[in-house]
Amino acid sequence: MDLPTEIKLPLPHLELHLAEGGEFFMGDDNGEYDDEKPAHQVTVPSFLYEQIPGHPKFI
């Protein structure tokens, strides 16, 4: 499925929030399970998400 590469604003029916991208370490070198290993750096791009009424804002 092809997803749109841009969002045309305004979209008054949506409450969009920006989640800033960044880098973090995922996994654990000393983890109990093999699928946790090895710890490695992950890069996540910025993205928009919709605030759903009745759900907490996570970011």
Quick check: 16 and 48 in contact, CB under 8 A? Answer: yes
Q: Are strands 40-44 and 47-50 parallel, antiparallel or unpaired?
A: unpaired
What is the helix, strand, coil percentage profile of the chain, to 5?
A: 5, 30, 65
pTM for this structure? 0.52
pLDDT surpasses 70 at 56: no
Q: pLDDT tens-digit profile of 20-55?
A: 899 999 999 998 888 889 999 999 999 888 877 666
